[in-house]
C-alpha cells in the first residue's frame, strides 16, 4: 500500500516538474530590455491613453462560457450524424434527449440574462 502512494508522489513531482521546468527555462533565457518603449502595452506605434488594465463585466465571461459550452457540444453531434444510419432509432432518441438538455440549459441561461451583452 505505501508503494502505491510512492507512485502517486513520483507522478505528482514529475507533473510539477514538467510545468515548472519550461517556465524556469523561459525566465532564464527570455531577453530583457530596459527601453521605455518596450514597457508600453502596444508596440505598433500607437500611443496608448488611459489605463492598460481594465475590468470586464462578469456577463462577458458568462457569455464566453456559454459559447464554449455549446461550441464543444457540437463536436459530439458530428460523429453521431456520420454513423446515424448504422446506430438506428435508439441513437436518434438519445440525441433528441441530449439536444433537449442543451435546450433547457440555453433557456435557463437566456432567462437569467447570461446572453445579454450590455
Q: Is residue 117 part of a domain?
A: no
CA distance 40 to 48: 7
Q: Is residue 6 part of a domain?
A: yes
CATH number of the domain where residue 104 is located:
1.20.58
Q: Is residue 42 part of a domain?
A: yes
Total tally of structural domains belonging to the chain: 1
Residuewise pLDDT in 10s, the chain (118 residues): 678 899 999 999 999 999 999 999 999 998 877 776 666 666 666 666 767 677 777 777 777 777 887 788 888 888 888 888 888 899 899 989 988 998 898 888 888 877 777 5
Residue numbers of the domain that contains 68: 2-112
Q: Is residue 66 part of a domain?
A: yes
Tell me the CA distances in angstroms from 38 to 31, 42, 43, 45, one per residue in order. 12, 8, 7, 11
Backbone angles phi, psi at 86, to 5 degrees: -75, -30
Q: Is residue 47 part of a domain?
A: yes
Amino acid at each position: 500500500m505505501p508503494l502505491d502512494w510512492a507512485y502517486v508522489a513520483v507522478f505528482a513531482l514529475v507533473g510539477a516538474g514538467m510545468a515548472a521546468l519550461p517556465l524556469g527555462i523561459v525566465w532564464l533565457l527570455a531577453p530583457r530590455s530596459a527601453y521605455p518603449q518596450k514597457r508600453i502595452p502596444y508596440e505598433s506605434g500607437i500611443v496608448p491613453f488611459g489605463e492598460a488594465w481594465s475590468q470586464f463585466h462578469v456577463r462577458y465571461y458568462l457569455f464566453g462560457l456559454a459559447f464554449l459550452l455549446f461550441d464543444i457540444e457540437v463536436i459530439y453531434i458530428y460523429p453521431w450524424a456520420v454513423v446515424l444510419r448504422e446506430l438506428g432509432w435508439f441513437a436518434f432518441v438519445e440525441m433528441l434527449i441530449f439536444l433537449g438538455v442543451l435546450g433547457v440549459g440555453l433557456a435557463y441561461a437566456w432567462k437569467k440574462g447570461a446572453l445579454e451583452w450590455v
